[in-house]
Amino acid sequence: MPFPANKTKLVCTIGPASDSPKMLEKIILAGMNVARLNFSHGDFASHKKTIAKIRDASQATGRRVAIMADLPGPKMRIGEIAEEPIELTSGNSFTLTTEEIVGDANRVSVSFPQLPRAVKSGDKLFLNDGYLELDVDRIDGNDVYCTVVVGGELRSRKGLNLPGIDLGI
């Protein structure tokens, strides 16, 4: 039994490059019928404004558009960075801390309070979906001192991955 064609949805992620009223109308007319908002980025006030723009564009085009809120879930993340992006350079030191701080080019907070107990010297940590790689050098209190193996840009609230490490959760 074939599925009815009207059950198919075209989902588009709406972000800074696509949230202008003109662009929203354009992608609605191109076939978008579900607007996805990634709540891992931005704040509730900005998402509220985007939702209003989507509703306005939907009304202007005469096409119904559903809104899907993609919630971040319990992912381990770094905290806020004061002046972003920062650039991590291979060979340089970088510190992850469980203290609640606003990060900078040398040190950033993490959302996983057990990090210093979960890792050991020689472990590999990854930031930003694996684009950045760190080697753990030593642990001192709340701080995990690392060497940058693979560098690059880092922004606030990016993911932290600890492959092969028993997290005890």
Q: Write out pLDDT tens, residues 36-61.
A: 999 888 888 999 999 999 999 999 99
pLDDT band at residue 4 under the 50/70/90 scheme: low
**C-beta contacts of 87-91 below 8 A and 24+ residues apart:** 87/151, 87/152, 87/153, 87/154, 88/127, 88/132, 88/148, 88/151, 88/152, 88/153, 88/154, 89/148, 89/151, 90/148, 90/149, 90/150, 90/151, 91/147, 91/148
**C-beta contacts of 40-44 below 8 A and 24+ residues apart:** 40/70, 40/72, 40/75, 40/157, 41/15, 41/157
Q: Write out pLDDT tens, residues 7-20.
A: 789 999 999 999 99
- Please check the confidence at residue 32 and state whether its pLDDT lies above 90: yes
